[in-house]
Amino acid sequence: MSEHKQMVPPDYHRCLDAILSSPAACRTVLETLAKMTEEQARSKWSPWHGQEPPPYGPDVREKVPAEVQLVALQAAYDSHRKSTMALWRQLSDIMDIPVMQESLVELIWSVRMTIERLKSRIDDLETNAAG
């Protein structure tokens, strides 16, 4: 059985409203449509009478309203920011620094100084072991 399921217009529009209200879902749909070929559009799209298939192909983003593109970009930014903040918290935990007590620049400087101290200590130990 085909993976495509035909929807009648009211269900289709309800589904589209749900997708457009979720930035992550909107981004996923745009990425899927951008990767779609003409053959895939023909095989997976069964429009009701008089309906055009969805836009597809690499230039699909040009046909998407700027507001929708902005929402998709905001979702991508929020996702990257969330993962960056998680990494920042993990690094703060490793360095025994309370989260958000230092800026990212100070945290990086703290890591750099710790690495330099450890390298210096290793050099001292190697010198003493060789001497």
Each residue's pLDDT tens digit, 88-98: 888 888 888 87
What is the residue range of 122's domain?
A: 95-131
Distance CA 115, CA 64 (A): 48
Q: Is 69 contained in some domain? A: yes
- Which residue, 53, 31, 32, 35, is CA-closest to 43? 53
Q: What is the pTM of this model?
A: 0.45
Instruction: State whether 13 and 72 are in the same domain.
Output: yes
Please, are residues 34 and 57 in contact by the beta-carbon 8 Å criterion? yes
List of residues 6+ apart from 117 with CB closer than 8 A: none
Predicted local confidence at residue 80, as pLDDT: 92
Each residue's pLDDT tens digit, 52-76: 666 666 777 677 778 877 887 888 8
Instruction: State whether 66 and 108 are in the same domain.
Output: no
